[in-house]
Amino acid sequence: MAEPKQTELMEKIVSLCKRRGFIFQSSEIYGGINGFWDYGPLGSELKRNVKDAWWRDIVHHREDVVGLDATIIMHPTVWKASGHVDTFSDPMSTCRHCKKLIRADQVWEMLPGQAWVQSLAEVCDVATQSFDSQKLIHWAGRKGKNLAPNLALVRNPEVTLSWLAERSADSAKEPVSATEFYQHLATEQMPVTGLITPCPYCGGELTPPRPFNLMFESWAGPVQSDENKVFLRPETAQAIFAQCKNVMDSSRQRPPFGIGQIGKAFRNEITPRNYTFRSREFEQMELEYFIRPDEATRALFGEVATVPDGGHPGDPQPNWGWQAWHRYWVEERVRFYESIGLSRDTLGFHVQQPDELAHYARATVDILFKFPFSKRDEQGELLGEELEGVAARGDFDLTQHEKFSGKPLTVFEDELRSAWALLSPDTVTEMRDDFIETKTRVAIEKKGMSAADAADSARAEAEVFFERLGKGQYLPHVIEPSAGVDRLVLALIANAYAEETVTDDKGKSETRVVLRFHPRIAPVKVGVFPLLKNKPELVAKAMEVRALLQSHVTVFYDDTGAIGRRYRRQDEAGTPFGVTIDFDTLGEKGDELKDTVTLRDRDSMKQERVKISELLGRILPLMQ
Ligand code: ATP
């Protein structure tokens, strides 16, 4: 059950975001459009800073990563090859009563946030299934009728109540799970033959789930025919794979190397929710990091190095295999989050279990952030929601694009050809056997192939793969750290939000709302305030300070209202520093204070006198 406190916190965040110009509902004057959001003046700066920080860390600060800026609409076969046309779908149900469309696998996540579930909790304890019949009947006839009119408990309370009463009378019976309990409340016919999963909105019955493809479609050109059908990209990654060869040829990069891209992606989500967390239009920051297959590494270096789980494995080594690279990228990404203010304890990790992994993935670690709306464990601790997935995808994507385009996408390394020629036949046989065994197992477990078909297909793959290696050729394997800009922006806002009680000199207390953004991503870095706006000398000096700072950082100039109020406004915007120009700056108290200003720190609220000439030296290092 969501803590009301957390819901309240989310409401405060949403309201601040609108009031201060971080996030607006798209087309709000027309009533908005579900799943689409605009970023206002502060939000667009924050978002830009997040993307710049990612680009600097991933592309500019590394010798082994280059950038790409590809189109949103690509050749439709790209999506056939990637599997999106056939399999990029979510299970969708329709409520037979209110007709709302619902993502069938998210019903149980959605329920705790629903008004009827929260209201029901006031008269019935779901965990122990204890209740007062009179109150429950009263609830069904009033609040329940209003909030969840299609729940069996509301439509036919006697039947549900008799089931409940029967259970609570039998002390030997343990309470059923919360899931089953809600199903009973939704199911009219008792004894129960098949339990109904309630519609989260009205409690009604849902249709069986059917797959719904999430790609937005359009037509390129004036004719709306099947030949002209195109898709808005649901991820930025596929353009990187499709352009991998061009990038390698033009930038002289060879594995291990990466291609990074930031850009819009579109998914026709069935139930966009949790503010910007699940949107229909969003931005991704994706890196496809291309490495040698382990067999090539072994041939070149005599071994494939692995690294222990936990902690950063250190600088990359030439003999690293995919497992070491995967661990490295998970830890690099955590370092990035720490560098912009998300400490490790605000994050969580979900290591996908073998049954969760896609057939082509060898490992996936989701990096989570503990949002106020995240699920909780049994101890009530927030578990977190996905910010980024770091997947080891093997050579699946390039294999598919090679197959569908008919163009070879292999890399050639002369050293590999020479090293391969020196391998003993036993080593090659051992590698081939391992390859066939792994591929056969995956084909049986993940693709549902018969043992014989799986072995045939694995042997055919091995034929091509080892023949190529012998010629010094291979399709690079991929480690993919894939992050969402909008989810990260929301995480940064939620993480930065704080309320505290402050007392002024006169002993008056008030609540200070402050966004404690890391200076690196704060939308505005410095607020510049002339003490009074009707003193031309103060204003002229303040403008001079603004000009000095503005060529290096974003500055907000504010000359309206009491200085305390101006500080509070910048606290709410998350501005880390305030600079006030007063009469001492003009030298009214002598030369010692002339050309000094008050520098205020947002978090400690401490103020100190600093020379104007030293301001940049104080502020800039904190932005790195
Ligand atoms: P989820 O399971 O939450 O739907 P996913 O596993 O499908 O996410 P990926 O395909 O791995 O997500 O996309 C990479 C990243 O893109 C995600 O970690 C997330 O940050 C972002 N992302 C994906 N879908 C959305 C969305 N609908 N709205 C906002 N960001 C998204």
What are the pLDDT digits (tens) for 296-310? 999 999 999 999 988
* Residue 45 near ligand 1, beta carbon < 6 Å: no
CA distances (Å), origin 223, targets 77, 220, 230, 526: 19, 8, 12, 53
Q: How far is the CA of 283 from the centre of ligand 1 (A)?
A: 10
Question: What's the start-to-end Cα distance of the chain, in Å?
Answer: 41
Beta-sheet pairing, 89-94 with 497-503: unpaired
> 177 and 99 share a domain?
yes
Q: What is the pLDDT of residue 191?
A: 58
For ligand 1, atom 20: residue with the closest CA: 484
Does 374 contact ligand 1 (Cβ within 6 A)? no
Question: Is 493 a domain residue?
Answer: no
* Residue 303 maps to a domain: no
**CA Rg value for the chain:** 30
pLDDT at 4 over 60: no
Residues 134, 280: one domain?
no
**Looking at the domain assignment, is residue 495 inside a domain?**
no
Least confident segment among 105-109, 226-230, 436-440, 516-520 = 105-109
- With a 6 Å cutoff on the Cβ, whether 389 touches ligand 1 is yes
Locate the ligand 1 atom nearest the alpha carbon of residue 488 and give its number.
20
Residue 312 belongs to a domain? no
Q: Is the pLDDT of residue 3 over 70?
A: no
Atom of ligand 1 nearest to the CA of 388: 18
Q: Which of 51, 232, 284, 488 to mutate to test the pocket of ligand 1 (most atoms within 8 A of CB)?
A: 284
Same structural domain, 65 and 105: no
What is the 322 CA–ligand 1 centroid distance (Å)? 23
Instruction: Decide: 284 in ligand 1 pocket, CB within 6 A.
Output: yes
Q: Average the pLDDT over 525-548 and give the result.
A: 96
590 and 606: one domain? yes
Mean pLDDT of all residues in the chain? 93
b vs e for 555-576, b when ≥16 Cβ sit within 10 Å of the residue's Cβ? bbbbbeeebeebbbbbbbbbbb
Say which range, 32-36, 52-56, 312-316, 441-445, has the weakest mean pLDDT: 441-445
The span from the CA of 33 to the CA of 18, in Å, is: 16
**CB of 203 shorter than 6 A to ligand 1:** no
Give the pLDDT score at 99.
95
Indicate if 467 and 547 belong to the same structural domain. no
Whole-number Å distance, alpha carbon 260 to ligand 1 midpoint, is 17
Which amino acid, one-letter code, is at 337? Y
- Beta-sheet strands, E only, within 233-362: 257-266, 281-291, 347-351
- Among left, alpha and beta (phi > 0; psi -120 to 50; other), residue 341 is left
Check pocket membership of 50 for ligand 1, CB cut-off 6 A.
no
484 Cα: distance to centroid of ligand 1 (angstroms): 6
One-letter amino acid at 399 equals T
Q: Is the CB of 386 under 6 A from ligand 1?
A: yes
Contact between residue 114 and residue 126 where contact means Cβ atoms under 8 Å apart: no
Residue nearest ligand 1's atom 6 by CA? 389
Q: Domain end: 462, 488, 514, which one?
A: 488
Q: State how far the Cα of 145 lies from the Cα of 190, in Å rounded to an integer.
A: 21
DSSP letter (8 states) at residue 393: E
Q: Report d(CA 20, CA 497) in Å as an integer.
A: 13
Q: How far is the CA of 265 from the centre of ligand 1 (A)?
A: 10
Peptide bond into 191 cis (omega under 30): yes
Q: Is the CB of 556 under 6 A from ligand 1?
A: no
Structural domain count, the chain: 4
Question: Which segments of 407-490 are extended strands (E)?
Answer: 411-412, 473-474, 477-484
pLDDT of residue 125 exceeding 60: yes
Handedness of CA 372, 344, 234, 360 (dihedral sign): negative
In 329-462, DSSP assigns E strands to 347-351, 363-369, 385-394, 411-412
Decide if 302 is inside a domain.
no
Q: Which residues contact 326 (CB under 8 A, 6 or more apart)?
A: 362, 363, 365, 390, 392, 479
Q: How many CA atoms lie within 13 A of 264 on its CB side?
A: 11
* Ligand 1 pocket, residue 388 CB under 6 Å: yes
Nearest atom in ligand 1 to the alpha carbon of residue 284 is 16
> Atom 23 (ligand 1): residue with closest C-alpha?
484
Hey, whose CA ends up nearest to atom 10 of ligand 1? Answer: 235
279 lines ligand 1 (CB under 6 A): yes
- Is 581 strand, coil or helix? strand
Spell out where 377-459 has E strands: 385-394, 411-412
Q: Pick the atom of ligand 1 nearest to 386's CA.
A: 18
What residue has token string 């207390």? 509
Q: What residue ranges in 398-551 does DSSP mark as E strands?
A: 411-412, 473-474, 477-484, 497-503, 509-515, 526-530
Q: Do 267 and 346 sit in the same domain of this protein?
A: yes
Full residue range of the structural domain in which residue 162 is found: 94-205
Q: Are 504 and 593 in contact (CB under 8 A)?
A: no
Residues 98 and 196 in one domain: yes
pLDDT of residue 532: 94
Instruction: Answer yes or no: are the C-beta atoms of 247 and 70 closer than 8 Å.
Output: no
Give the number of the atom of ligand 1 that is nearest the alpha carbon of residue 272. Answer: 27
- State the DSSP code for 262: E
Three-state secondary structure call for residue 147: helix
Residues 269 and 337 in one domain: yes
Report the nearest atom of ligand 1 relative to the CA of 283: 30
Is 118 found in the same domain as 48? no
Instruction: Work out whether strand 281-291 and strand 477-484 pair parallel, antiparallel, or are unpaired.
Output: antiparallel
Q: What is the pLDDT of residues 301-344, one digit of tens each?
A: 999 999 998 889 999 999 999 999 999 999 999 999 999 999 99
Residue pointed to by tokens 């003490």: 531
Asked if 388 and 334 count as a contact pair (C-beta separation under 8 A), the reply is no
Residue 373 has pLDDT above 70, yes or no: yes
* 484 Cβ closer than 6 Å to some ligand 1 atom: yes
Instruction: Count CA atoms within 13 Å of residue 156 on its CB side.
Output: 13
- Domain boundary residue among 142, 172, 205? 205
Residues 6+ apart with CB under 8 A from 309: 327
> Would you say the CB of residue 394 lies under 6 angstroms from ligand 1?
no
Determine which residue's CA is closest to atom 1 belonging to ligand 1: 386
Q: Residue 1: which pLDDT band, with cuts at 50, 70 and 90?
A: very low
CB 521 within 8 A of CB 340: yes
Q: pLDDT of 338-367, one tens digit each?
A: 999 999 999 999 999 988 998 889 999 999
Distance 213 CA to ligand 1 centre (A): 15
Query: Could you tell me if 239 and 378 lie in one domain?
Result: yes
- Let me know if residue 624 belongs to a domain: no
Mean pLDDT over residues 518-532, rounded?
A: 97
Does the structure show a pLDDT above 90 at 624? Answer: no
Same domain for 349 and 241 = yes
The mean per-residue pLDDT over the stretch 132-142 comes to 88
- Nearest protein CA to atom 21 of ligand 1, as residue: 484
In this structure, the residue with its CA closest to atom 30 of ligand 1 is 484
- CATH number of domain containing 557: 3.40.50.800
Residue 191 in any domain: the answer is yes
Stretch 429-437: mean pLDDT: 96
Cα–Cα distance measured from residue 458 to residue 438, given in angstroms and rounded to the nearest whole number: 8
Q: What is the pLDDT of residues 377-427, one digit of tens each?
A: 878 888 899 999 999 999 999 999 999 999 999 999 999 999 999 999 999
Which distant-in-sequence residues (6+ apart) come within 8 Å of 185 by Cβ?
A: 151, 152, 153, 160, 198, 203
pTM: 0.91
Average pLDDT on 460-464 reads 96
Distance CA 507, CA 496 (A): 27
- Label residue 2 by pLDDT band (50, 70, 90): very low
Q: Which two tokens stand for residue 286?
A: 């994706």
Instruction: Determine if ligand 1 sits within 6 Å of the CB of residue 486.
Output: yes
Q: How many angstroms separate the Cα of 28 from the Cα of each of 13, 279, 489?
A: 18, 16, 20
Residue nearest to atom 31 of ligand 1 (CA): 484
* DSSP class per residue in 37-85: EEE-HHHHHHHHHHHHHHHIIIIIT-SSEEE----SB--THHHHHHTHH
Q: Does one domain contain both 400 and 448? A: no
Alpha-carbon span 9 to 131, nearest angstrom:
29
Tell me the C-alpha distance between 54 and 42, whole Å. Answer: 19
Q: Answer whether 483 contacts ligand 1 (Cβ < 6 A).
A: yes
Ligand 1 near 333 CB (within 6 A): no
pLDDT of 131 above 50: yes
Asked if the bond preceding 408 is cis, omega within 30° of 0, the reply is no
Residue 402 domain-assigned (yes or no): yes
- The DSSP bridge partners found for residue 43 are none
pLDDT over 90 at 173, yes or no: no
User: Ligand 1 centre and the CA of 488: distance in Å?
Assistant: 11
Query: In ligand 1, which atom is closest to the CA atom of 366?
Result: 18
Counting ligand 1 atoms within 8 A of each CB, the residue from 88, 215, 282, 492 with the most, and so the one to mutate, is 282
Check: CB of residue 167 under 8 Å from CB of residue 192. no
pLDDT digit string (tens) for 49-67?
A: 999 999 999 999 999 999 9
Give the position, in ligand 1's atom list, of the atom nearest the Cα of 267. 27
* 68, 251 contact by CB (below 8 A): no
Which atom from ligand 1 is nearest to the alpha carbon of 482?
A: 14
